[in-house]
């Protein structure tokens, strides 16, 4: 019996991908990203294959391929017994085989998407590696407004108003997140007076619209939405200042980019995905969360969403693709729980996001009873009383 076969026989059936049978039936709930992936379709096609001649079952060694044994870099004399070297080789081969089995335990979520060019299955993993690098390069400092005349409360008032403007113009979701990202990145390098804060906010949305929208609102529209508090010339002038300050680098990854990836990995249904989006959007108003990376916030939002709706923990597969374990995400989840409790208990007057997600178009997700459960209240209390 080979070392590979020994490892696979010792693993439980639920943890041994080489000996598992067919998985459980798919959840009848519609997947959040079901329209752009064929993972479930491929599985259904496999179930519909008719009876065929039974083929001999390949051994575990055949599935894994030959295991290369590397001789240890130990100098031995002629007097050393040969069984010691043989034992070391066998032990090293066993360790390598065990590592390969663990790697196979994580499913490749892109393997069934090769026939859909828009999903970039061949290099999507490299894309997300690059996005992780990019979010660190364009990071936002914690407490960057310390010493400013502008306060965190003023920032929250501005962002709450921008959420309403975003809904009024019926803009893409990405535009709102990019607006707030541009706002924070600009303010941390270019302090402004209180009088110009709204000008910076509305100009940040203009820049975000030009970057994300197919049909961007005109400069006159943004001047009008401020009740003509600022002229078109002032908005265009501020646009130049913002772009020069940021070095025209507007490609900072957004939490939505990582959330869509995480929802695909988890095969999340629409309710779970929408609740995660609601938790994400509440974080836009929280000044104490600006320094968290978009990938961290997205992973924490989905982790909290599936915990509230299904009581599911953060799986090894989700940990592998997000690069974060549940312990790392716990402080971020507690901050999100605090934001939900403040809104639900009327201790926050910034209700634009809750009102937006109370519509039937967004499944009235901000009104579900799970957001008033003991689970989320205990998480918020743990933040106040560590």
Q: What is the pLDDT of residue 61?
A: 41
Q: Is 375 exposed, middle or buried (0-12, 13-18, 19+ CB in 10 A)?
A: middle
**Residues in CB range of 112: below 8 A, 6 or more apart:** 37, 38, 39, 41, 42
Q: What is the pLDDT of residue 59?
A: 45
Q: What is the pTM of this model?
A: 0.74
With contact defined as beta carbons under 8 Å apart, do 161 and 356 qualify? Answer: no
Number of helices (H), then strands (E), in the chain:
17, 0
CA–CA separation, 214 vs 226, rounded Å?
23
Ordered by where they begin, the domains of the chain are: 141-245 (1.10.472.10), 255-384 (1.10.472.10)
Please, which contacts does 25-32 make with residues 24 or more away whose CB atoms are closer than 8 Å?
26/267, 27/267, 27/269, 29/269, 29/270, 29/271, 30/269, 30/270, 31/267, 31/268, 31/269, 31/270, 32/260, 32/263, 32/264, 32/268, 32/269, 32/270, 32/272, 32/273, 32/274
SS (H, E, C) 260-284: HHHHHHHCCEHHHHHHHHHHHHHHC
Mean pLDDT by 10 residues, the chain (386 residues): 42 42 43 48 47 47 44 44 50 49 68 86 90 93 93 96 96 96 96 94 97 94 94 96 95 94 93 97 96 96 96 92 94 96 93 95 94 92 72
**Sign for the pseudo-dihedral over CA of 135, 196, 339, 146:** positive
CA–CA separation, 338 vs 378, rounded Å?
10
Please, which contacts does 16-22 make with residues 24 or more away whose CB atoms are closer than 8 Å?
16/101, 17/101, 17/104, 17/105, 18/60, 18/63, 18/64, 18/101, 18/104, 22/47
Q: What is the pLDDT of residue 157?
A: 96
Q: What is the pLDDT of residue 32?
A: 54
Nearest to 16 by CA among 24, 7, 25: 7
Structure tokens at 213: 């929208």
Q: What is the pLDDT of residue 385?
A: 63
Q: What is the pLDDT of residue 99?
A: 41
Instruction: Report angle CA 47, 48, 49 to the nearest 5 degrees.
Output: 95
Q: Find residue 269's DSSP bridge partners.
A: 31
Q: What is the pLDDT of residue 120?
A: 87
DSSP letters spanning 198-259: HHHHHHHHHHHHHHH-SSPPPHHHHHHHTTTSS-HHHHHHHHHHHHHHTTT------HHHHH
With contact defined as beta carbons under 8 Å apart, do 175 and 209 qualify? Answer: yes
CA–CA separation, 193 vs 197, rounded Å?
6
């Amino acid at each position: 019996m080979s070392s590979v076969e020994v490892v696979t026989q010792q693993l439980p059936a639920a943890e041994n991908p080489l000996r598992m049978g067919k998985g459980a039936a798919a959840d009848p709930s519609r997947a959040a990203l079901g329209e752009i992936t064929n993972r479930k379709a491929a599985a259904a096609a496999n179930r519909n294959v008719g009876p065929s001649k039974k083929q001999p079952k390949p051994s575990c060694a055949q599935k894994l391929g030959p295991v290369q044994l590397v001789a240890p870099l130990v100098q031995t004399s002629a007097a050393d017994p040969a069984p010691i070297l043989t034992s070391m080789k066998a032990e090293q081969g066993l360790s390598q085989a065990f590592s390969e089995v663990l790697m196979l335990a994580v499913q490749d979520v892109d393997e069934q998407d090769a026939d859909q060019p828009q999903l970039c299955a061949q290099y999507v993993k490299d894309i997300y590696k690059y996005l992780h690098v990019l979010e660190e390069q364009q990071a936002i400092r914690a407490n960057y407004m310390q010493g400013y005349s502008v306060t965190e409360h003023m920032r929250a008032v501005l962002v709450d108003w921008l959420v309403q403007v975003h809904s009024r113009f019926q803009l893409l979701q990405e535009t709102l997140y990019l607006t707030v990202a541009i706002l924070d990145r600009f303010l941390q390098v270019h302090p402004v007076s209180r009088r110009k804060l709204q000008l910076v906010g509305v100009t940040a949305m203009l820049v975000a619209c030009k970057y994300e929208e197919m049909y961007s609102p005109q400069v006159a529209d943004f001047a009008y939405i401020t009740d003509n508090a600022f002229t078109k010339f002032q908005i265009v002038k501020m646009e130049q200042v913002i772009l020069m300050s940021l070095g025209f680098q507007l490609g900072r990854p957004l939490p939505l980019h990582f959330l869509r990836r995480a929802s695909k990995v988890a095969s999340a249904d629409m309710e779970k995905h929408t609740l995660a989006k609601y938790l994400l959007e509440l974080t836009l108003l929280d000044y104490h969360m600006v320094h968290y990376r978009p990938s961290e916030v997205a992973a924490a939002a989905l982790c909290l969403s599936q915990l509230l709706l299904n009581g599911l923990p953060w799986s090894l597969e989700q940990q592998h693709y997000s690069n974060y374990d549940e312990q790392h995400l716990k402080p971020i989840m507690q901050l999100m729980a605090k934001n939900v409790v403040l809104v639900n208990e009327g201790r926050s007057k910034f209700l634009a996001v809750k009102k937006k997600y109370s519509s039937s178009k967004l499944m009235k997700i901000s009104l579900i009873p799970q957001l008033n459960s003991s689970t989320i209240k205990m998480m918020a209390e743990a933040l106040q009383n560590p």
